[in-house]
Amino acid sequence: MNETTPSRLYLSPPHMSGREQDYLQEAFATNWIAPLGPHVDRFERELAGYVGIGGAAAVSSGTAAIHLALRLLGTTRGDTVLCSSFTFIASANPIVYEGAEPVFIDSEPQSWNMCPDALERALSDAEREGRLPKAVIVVNLYGQSARMDRIIPLCERYGVPVIEDAAESLGSTYQGQASGTFGTFGIYSFNGNKIITTSGGGMLVGQDEQALEQARFLATQARDAAPHYQHSQVGYNYRMSNLLAGVGRAQLAVLDERVAARRAVFERYVRLLAGLPGISFMPELPDSRSNRWLTVIRLNPAESGGVTAADVLSALSDANIEARPVWKPLHLQPVFAGTAYYPHAAGRSFCEELFADGLCLPSGSAMSETEQERVAAVIRAVFARAAQTV
């Protein structure tokens, strides 16, 4: 890097509100550093209130929340769990922690999330084989909700509980209802790159307060009510610290502003990239409102003069701008080789199409218009070069 290299633009950096330090100060002043404490209780209540659900349990990560949800549903060795294929690996790893087997489900074009038709085929096959899955993990990617009006009734028909992985969709709604509140359990992540962050953390939500109490118990090493240390089950060290919950409360207070900012970033990209051939944007389902956590584009080389997602990625990288390919589908991951997979339609795997031509653009809520223009200028230059060489 030399003096003329412009500063690095990140994909989705943390965006503090300024109030975090007040909450931290309060925790320090009362020496309530760890493990639990008043900020944890309040963060749980405030988040449950925000999304309009019975209760919440604050944990150390979104992955831990998924793991606890699977445990609460009794997932064990020999079970299968259906899961979206187009997602981050954290959605599926906890299935393997419990010795169960994932079965991956493709996406569909309207939402890019779990295809209800493929899900129906998987459930019907499983019923025929007398081996219904223990759960269905439905992921809401990049802020967009899956088609809950079809997925939830389908799972109810087969009596299979839903775990909603809303790690990326906190603040989004589907038919007026908060994303993450459609299943038996929902989970959120406060990892550093998410729409709000505690530097690292997660939340398990649901209507069943008794189940959430059991989650808190499992998350604190499953310690029995005895004067000495006694344990009748294997638990985890998964609880959130009081310090981080304080940061979370300050972040939650500005969540609506963060959603508005990310949506504005999306709208600006649509404007700045208008007219470039072969670029399309992630759709938004009618009757839903995505938090637009990341702006995701697709590049169709047949229309773009040969410009591919990889070309744009490498030009942005040369300009010190962080972009990322979309998630590589889990059924293509080496660690899940040989796992069962239900595509969108016979001979058509939609998430593989997305993986071939999708690209995530820098989308931080603190990004300035000038910074966004810098991204657009680099992309426009790639198209201009391609046009010259045709």
Ligand X SMILES: *Cc1c(COP(=O)(O)O)cnc(C)c1O
Given the rule CB under 6 A, which residues bind ligand X? 61-63, 87-88, 90-91, 139, 165, 167-168, 189, 191, 202
Both tokens assigned to 59:
């944990």
Indicate the residue among 244 and 319 with the shorter CB distance to ligand X: 244
Indicate the residue among 179 and 372 with the shorter CB distance to ligand X: 179
Indicate the residue among 87 and 291 with the shorter CB distance to ligand X: 87
User: Which residue reads 């993450």 in tokens?
Assistant: 180
Both tokens assigned to 346:
């016979």
Q: CB of 277: closest distance to ligand X in angstroms?
A: 31
Q: How far is CA 294 from CA 177, 212, 364, 369, in A?
A: 21, 30, 8, 16
Count the helix, strand and coil residues of the chain and give each as a percent rounded to the nearest 5. 40, 15, 45
Within the chain, how many helices (H) and strands (E) appear? 12, 15
Both tokens assigned to 363:
């989308």
**Distance, C-alpha 121 to centroid of its chain:** 25
Q: CB of 202: closest distance to ligand X in angstroms?
A: 5
State the Rg of the chain over Cα: 22
Q: CB of 168: closest distance to ligand X in angstroms?
A: 5
User: Which 8-state DSSP code applies to residue 189?
Assistant: E
Indicate the residue among 200 and 306 with the shorter CB distance to ligand X: 200
Indicate the residue among 88 and 350 with the shorter CB distance to ligand X: 88
Q: CB of 387: closest distance to ligand X in angstroms?
A: 36
Indicate the residue among 108 and 168 with the shorter CB distance to ligand X: 168
88 vs 139: CA distance, rounded Å? 9
**Distance, C-alpha 92 to centroid of its chain:** 12
Report the residue closest to ligand X, judged by CB: 62
Q: For 135, how many CA atoms within 13 A lie in the half-sphere containing its CB?
A: 30
Q: CB of 319: closest distance to ligand X in angstroms?
A: 26
Q: CB of 167: closest distance to ligand X in angstroms?
A: 3
53 vs 246: CA distance, rounded Å? 21
Both tokens assigned to 172:
């989004």
Q: CB of 380: closest distance to ligand X in angstroms?
A: 30
Q: Using an 8 Å Cβ cutoff, are 115 and 107 in contact? A: yes
Q: Is 100 exposed, middle or buried (0-12, 13-18, 19+ CB in 10 A)?
A: buried
Indicate the residue among 106 and 311 with the shorter CB distance to ligand X: 106
Hey, is 241 helix, strand or coil? coil
Q: CB of 132: closest distance to ligand X in angstroms?
A: 24
Indicate the residue among 113 and 304 with the shorter CB distance to ligand X: 113
Residue type at 265 in one-letter notation: V
